[in-house]
């Protein structure tokens, strides 16, 4: 039986099981990606985590109010609570 040639970054499932922690450390340190295969068929991908930037809280609503000239004037609308 002959072994199939694997592409760089491909790891057989059995090899991944044996070297999982080592491969995860390498991914974290170098950003290398691995494709895990079963019988030569890709089944999973091990990739580094990319942290999303957190949005600023203060100032996050800047520019969202279009215009309201007289905010303290009563509204012209009749609300259900006011109906008798």
User: Domain limits of the chain?
Assistant: 1-48
pLDDT digits (tens, 9 = 90+) for 38-58: 999 999 999 999 888 877 778
Full-model pTM: 0.56
- Domain 1-48, CATH class in plain words: alpha beta
| Spatial distance between the Cα atoms of 41 and 13, rounded to a whole number of angstroms | 10
Closest by CA to 35, choosing from 5, 2, 13, is 13
Instruction: Give the pLDDT confidence of 67-78 residue by residue, as tens digits.
Output: 777 777 777 777
Calpha distance 62→55 (Å, rounded): 13
Q: Is 34 helix (H, G, I), strand (E, B) or coil?
A: strand
């Amino acid at each position: 039986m002959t072994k199939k040639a694997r592409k760089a970054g491909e790891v057989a499932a059995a090899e991944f099981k044996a070297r999982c922690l080592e491969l995860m450390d390498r991914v974290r340190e170098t950003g290398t990606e691995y494709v895990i295969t079963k019988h030569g068929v890709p089944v999973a991908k091990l990739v580094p985590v990319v942290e999303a930037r957190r949005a600023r809280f203060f100032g996050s609503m800047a520019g969202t109010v279009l215009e309201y000239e007289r905010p303290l004037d009563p509204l012209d609308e009749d609300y259900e609570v006011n109906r008798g």
